[in-house]
Chains A and B, each alone.
Chain A
Amino acid sequence: MFEEFWDMGLPAFTGLDQLRQDLNTLMGLPDGQNFFRSAAASGFPLVNVGETDQEVHVYALAPGLEAKDLDISLQGNRLNIHGTRQTEANNDKANRERNWYRQERFTGEFSKMVSLPESIDSENVEAKAENGVIHIKLPKSAETQPRKITVKAE
């Protein structure tokens, strides 16, 4: 699960992150929203990135969307995730009869650039979605995979 996994091996919250989180708590804002609007550390979709020896794994949290709704492109070790999500907030006709209390969910067009730890074999990228999480599996290019060196005994 994310908690067990993402807590390991990553630096703890930096001072600014902590301050941001404290302010969010103070202001009653949910995660993924920023008290400092300009310091958007998140955006849509939120993305977690991990790697194994052979692959880079990207988990994009894109609720309401399927893999086919995303336009995924790769330039060097930068992955771009582009798409559009429409929500009821855009339903202008119906909204005449509605009183909105909260409108926190992302709506509209998005483009998110994700830095990847290694260069990728762009021919064999796979993406699949489950429950609004798009899992993008990117095999590392041959030269960046660790090579096992056999030491021969004399």
Chain B
Amino acid sequence: MSATKQDMDVRNQTAPTERSANAAPFLTPVVDLYEDGDGITLTADMPGVSSDDLDIELQNQELVIEGPIGIDMPDNLTAWSADIRGSRYRRTFTVGQDLDADNIEATMNLGVLTVRLPKKAASRTRRIEVK
């Protein structure tokens, strides 16, 4: 995964064009984020990204979600109006140490990414029955 990122950086450095200098920054996907007793659930709107192209990485408590918008458009299309300009989403989150990095689950459905980050067993909420 980190190889992909490096490749990208290298490409940007070796092919400096005017367009890349003016290229739009990454699009920031909007997210919902909540915590419950067992972990954290992150939901991100990333329309146009297929599950194959999605890149999720967790390193040093930094969670990165990234993916390109892949839409087939006619070659001879000219733009009329655009709410979004950009072809790649990316967003970074800092997560706590109490999460179980080995058991993160991610699903991508209809352009919505859902990431479930479970807490380590010791950090889960234990329900106490009051008699």
Contacts and interface: CB of A to CB of B under 8 A. Distances in A.
Interface residues of B, number: 48
Contacts of B120: none
A101 B87 contact: no
Given A3-B87, A10-B82, A46-B83, A131 B49 contact: yes
B74 A48 contact: no
Contact of B83 (A8, A47, A87, A104): A47
A30 B30 contact: yes
B78 A61 contact: no
Given A3-B85, A97-B36, A59 B30 contact: no
A7 interface: yes
Contact of A5 (B29, B33, B41, B77): B77
Interface residues of A, number: 59
Given A30-B29, A65-B110, A50 B85 contact: no
A120 interface: no
B87 A4 contact: yes
Nearest to A56: B80
Given A3-B86, A3-B88, A63-B47, A133 B111 contact: yes
Interface in A1-20: 1-10
A99 to B, nearest CB: 5
B101 interface: no
Interface string B102-131: 000000111110000000000000000000
Interface string B50-84: 10000000000000000011110110111111111
A66 B34 contact: no
Contact of B76 (A47, A53, A129): A53
A53 B77 CA distance: 8
Given A87-B32, A89-B32, A8 B79 contact: yes
A3 B37 contact: no
B19 A51 contact: no
B46 interface: yes
Interface of A: 1-10, 30-33, 41-42, 46-53, 55-57, 59, 61-66, 87-89, 94-95, 97-106, 114-117, 129-133, 135
Given A30-B91, A48-B83, A48-B84, 7 more contacts: A1-B68, A3-B24, A9-B78, A49-B79, A129-B110, A131-B70, A131-B111
